[in-house]
Amino acid sequence: MQWSFDQVRIFVMTAETCSFSASARRLGRAQSAISTTIALLEADLGVVLFERSSGRQPKLTEAGSVLLDEAREILKHCERLESRALGLVRGEEARLRLAYDEAMPYQPVVNSLEALAQAYPFLDVQLASSAQGEVSRKLLERRADLGLMFHHEDVPDALERRRLDNVEMVTVCGAGHLLALQPRVTRQQLAQYRQILIAPYKSGYPGGEPISPHVWRADSFYATAELLMRDLGWAWLPRHVARYPTYLNHLVELASDWTPPPLVVELVWRRDEPLGPAAQWLAERFAVELAAIG
């Protein structure tokens, strides 16, 4: 078969206008050229697409009606191809791989990705939700193009960072823990019970130095919350994690004389791979969405 994109486009236009002459006017061609193109397409496909009666508008045959939907899909795929090619000419990425800390506030991430789909409808996106430390590792190993993570001091020099916003931290224990009975806890009281901290030992995260001499460590805020639900200790958690629906009525936020400073949310990427337009757009959107939740 030797049919072309132009023939398919004329077929769809003629079917939608129910007129060879109207199709010719819209495409800026002679009516005879439209009729010839349709005839050649019918010859290539081996079917009759339109019933032609003298003095009447062309009407789709049964075969023409069946093939019309397929022709429209072909046009859509061609438009996507042209749009993707134009984006590449303009320097847009064909693919964006995002790695983000699993404890990142959920709504800003989802809202930003929804907006990205509208702004860059043909961009391929790969998402990776990771525990502490994995985001920067994925960037270093070139398994991600853009990272969304909490600031810590040990980020490799090969990565560029941009501060976006803060996430509030709270002191938390399980509802059945003895500390939950206290209206307010002091540093000395906290030191009497097991503390669960984020690993590794030298993470550089705010609050990384223990108060209690008895410490457990985890690489995930959510894993920490699961331990707290079983009254195995107390911890500092991002407030949105402590209030995650799964943990409601199982975790208690403690009024304390000291809590760590907020976690700083950062956008991270490799210095030797500058951000493309879509990644830059997504970075700005993250900043807006994070600011919106206060």
For 36-54, what is each residue's pLDDT tens digit? 888 888 888 888 988 877 6
Tokens of 168: 């509030």
| CATH number, span 5-89 | 1.10.10.10
Mean pLDDT of 153-171: 85
Which helix H or strand E contains 235, and what residues bound it? strand 234-238
Q: Which CATH architecture has domain 169-261?
A: 3-Layer(aba) Sandwich (3.40)
- Domain boundaries along the sequence of the chain: 5-89, 95-166+264-292, 169-261
Q: How would you list the strands of the sheet with 95-101, edge to edge?
A: 124-130, 95-101, 146-150, 263-270, 159-167
* 173 CB-contact burial (10 Å; exposed 0-12 / middle 13-18 / buried 19+): buried
Beta bridge partners of 185: 256
Same fold, 5-89 and 95-166+264-292: no
Is the CB of residue 191 less than 8 Å from the CB of residue 214?
Answer: no
Give 30's contacts (C-beta < 8 A, 6+ positions apart). Answer: 24
Q: What are phi and psi of 61, to 5 degrees?
A: -80, 175
The per-residue pLDDT for range 54-106, each reduced to its tens digit, is 667 788 888 888 888 888 888 877 776 665 565 555 566 888 999 999 889 98
What per-residue confidence (pLDDT) applies to 201?
45
Percentage of the chain modeled with pLDDT above 90? 37
| CATH number, span 95-166+264-292 | 3.40.190.10
- 197 CB neighbour count, 10 Å cutoff: 22
The per-residue pLDDT for range 206-225, each reduced to its tens digit, is 556 788 899 999 888 999 99
Is the CB of residue 86 less than 8 Å from the CB of residue 116?
Answer: no
Alpha carbons within 13 A on the beta-carbon side of 72: 9
Give 218's contacts (C-beta < 8 A, 6+ positions apart). Answer: 196, 197, 198, 199, 224, 227
Q: Cα-Cα-Cα-Cα dihedral of 156, 162, 164, 165, to 10°? A: 50
